[in-house]
């Protein structure tokens, strides 16, 4: 093995801007835990080889440097990546503790959401300074006049049920969450962000109250998701859906978050979070009391059989990519 790779950890990155933030956060947490004993670099080859969502439709670009221009990270060379892969592979889908990680290693898989990693929220929030183009800057100025609520309507590859994310949020979910925000802030204007703005315009908005003060932000597109994330982060209220753009917007901006309960991890590090779970079938499952997770009432523990299926799905997905 190359001696230069003995103290090296390389972390795989893929997906949209929020996935990129999560991978980078874990890499920085590993570097901080191990101090100056190791170098942590990042493998971004996926963006050269794939760079699409699961349906192969919407772009997924390497946007982290655009969103965090002052946060230096090191990119691994192909040779460095190959060297550590041969030595040791750690699947972060299965590894729950950073203490189990040491060099040399290649970190693959999908780590848990980074919301509760010590110190990372402050570091990321302070360094989240993307350069806004003219249209985005104009909307940012409008949002600043407030009160404003961002509504993330995730569609695309998650417009149908997903093994990892569950069932898409219904029209009733958005109606309920908007009612909650209007009760808290009667004068709020609602800014809708979606990878399918036509769905919001043609199907969702007609089902919502006619007097809703709203605007669809539809000019950035999936190739500029980091700009939509910047606008979401500027809103005092954020309504999330499945996916992660809404949650990360509140995570970086500090707004009040209204979110469904789903498998992105618990949000103990975030204040002002309102949970709405409309999955009645899940809540009606007959399970023993000790099988229920106590972190948040109403969330049912994943049975081991389902967990094994999810781990297998993630492994296949990694190998396929």
Is residue 232 domain-shared with residue 301, that is, in the same domain? no
Listing DSSP states for 61-113 in one string gives: ---HHHH-TTS---BPPHHHHHHHHHH-EEETTT---GGG--SSEEEES-PPP
- Confidence class for position 204, pLDDT limits 50, 70, 90: very high
Give the residue among 86, 109, 64, 90 at the shortest CA–CA distance from 252.
64
Taking only the tens place, the pLDDT of each residue in 74-131 is 999 999 999 999 899 998 887 767 777 888 999 998 887 788 787 888 999 999 999 9
Question: CA angle, corner 205, sides to 140 and 180, nearest 5?
Answer: 75
In a domain, 116, yes or no: yes
CB 87 within 8 A of CB 5: yes
Structural domain including 307 reads: 289-320
CB 232 within 8 A of CB 136: no
Query: How many CB atoms lie under 10 A from the CB of residue 59?
Result: 15
Q: Which residue has the higher pLDDT, 228 or 279?
A: 228
CATH of the domain at 207: 3.40.50.2000
Is residue 102 domain-shared with residue 167, that is, in the same domain? no
For residues 249-269, average pLDDT: 79
Is residue 151 domain-shared with residue 15, that is, in the same domain? no
Token pair 């979070």 is at which residue?
273
Is residue 39 domain-shared with residue 74, that is, in the same domain? yes
- Confidence class for position 290, pLDDT limits 50, 70, 90: very low
In a domain, 283, yes or no: no
Taking only the tens place, the pLDDT of each residue in 121-148 is 899 999 999 999 999 999 999 999 989 9
- Choose the final residue of a domain: 78, 105, 123: 123
pLDDT reported for residue 297: 37
- Confidence class for position 283, pLDDT limits 50, 70, 90: very low
In a domain, 311, yes or no: yes
Is residue 197 domain-shared with residue 69, that is, in the same domain? no
Is residue 301 domain-shared with residue 249, that is, in the same domain? no
For the cut 70, the answer to whether the pLDDT of residue 70 exceeds it is: yes
For the cut 80, the answer to whether the pLDDT of residue 183 exceeds it is: yes
Please state whether 98 falls in left (phi above 0), alpha (psi between -120 and 50) or beta. alpha
For residues 302-313, average pLDDT: 46
In a domain, 259, yes or no: yes
Is residue 141 domain-shared with residue 185, that is, in the same domain? yes
Per DSSP, helices labelled H in 128-276 are 134-145, 171-184, 197-199, 225-233, 245-253
Is residue 62 domain-shared with residue 33, that is, in the same domain? yes
Phi, psi of 268 (to 5 degrees): -60, -30
Q: Which residue has the higher pLDDT, 61 or 300?
A: 61
- Choose the final residue of a domain: 67, 99, 123: 123
- Confidence class for position 193, pLDDT limits 50, 70, 90: very high
CB 193 within 8 A of CB 231: yes
Is residue 15 domain-shared with residue 95, that is, in the same domain? yes
Taking only the tens place, the pLDDT of each residue in 225-239 is 999 999 999 999 999
Q: Order across the sheet with 256-259: list the strands.
A: 214-216, 189-194, 148-153, 237-239, 256-259, 273-275
- Confidence class for position 284, pLDDT limits 50, 70, 90: very low
In a domain, 299, yes or no: yes
In a domain, 158, yes or no: yes
* Domain total of the chain: 3
Q: 105 - beta bridge partners? A: 9
Is residue 196 domain-shared with residue 168, that is, in the same domain? yes
In a domain, 284, yes or no: no
Is residue 214 domain-shared with residue 274, that is, in the same domain? yes
In a domain, 17, yes or no: yes
Give the residue among 153, 134, 135, 225 at the shortest CA–CA distance from 191.
153
Give the residue among 103, 145, 298 at the shortest CA–CA distance from 234.
145
CB 241 within 8 A of CB 153: yes
Is residue 178 domain-shared with residue 272, that is, in the same domain? yes
């Amino acid at each position: 093995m190359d001696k230069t790779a003995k103290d090296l950890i390389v972390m795989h990155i893929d997906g949209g801007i929020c996935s990129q933030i999560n991978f980078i956060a874990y890499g920085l947490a590993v570097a901080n835990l191990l101090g100056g004993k190791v170098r942590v670099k990042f493998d971004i080859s996926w963006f050269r080889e794939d760079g699409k969502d699961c349906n192969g439709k919407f772009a997924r670009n390497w946007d982290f440097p655009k969103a965090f221009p002052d946060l230096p990270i090191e990119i691994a060379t192909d040779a460095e990546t190959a060297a550590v892969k041969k030595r040791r592979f750690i699947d972060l889908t299965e590894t729950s503790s950073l203490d189990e990680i040491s060099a040399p290693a290649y970190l693959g898989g999908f780590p848990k959401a980074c919301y509760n990693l010590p110190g990372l929220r402050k570091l990321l929030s302070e360094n989240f300074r993307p350069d806004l183009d003219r249209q985005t800057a104009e909307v940012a100025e409008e949002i600043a006049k407030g009160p404003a609520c961002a509504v993330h309507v995730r569609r695309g590859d998650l417009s149908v049920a997903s093994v990892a994310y569950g069932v898409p949020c219904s029209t009733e979910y958005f109606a309920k969450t908007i009612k909650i925000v209007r009760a808290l802030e009667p004068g709020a204007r609602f800014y809708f962000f979606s990878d399918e703005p036509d769905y919001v315009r043609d199907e969702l908005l007609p089902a919502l109250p006619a007097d809703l003060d709203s605007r669809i932000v539809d000019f950035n597109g999936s190739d500029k998701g980091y700009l939509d994330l910047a606008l979401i982060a500027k809103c005092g209220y954020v309504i999330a859906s499945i996916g992660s753009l809404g949650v990360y917007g509140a995570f970086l901006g500090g707004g009040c978050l209204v979110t469904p309960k789903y498998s992105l991890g618990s949000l103990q590090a975030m204040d002002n979070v309102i949970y709405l779970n409309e999955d009645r079938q899940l809540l009606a499952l007959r399970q023993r009391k000790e099988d229920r997770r106590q972190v948040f009432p109403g969330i049912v523990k994943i049975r081991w059989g389902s967990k094994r299926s999810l781990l297998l799905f993630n492994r296949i997905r990694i190998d396929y990519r």
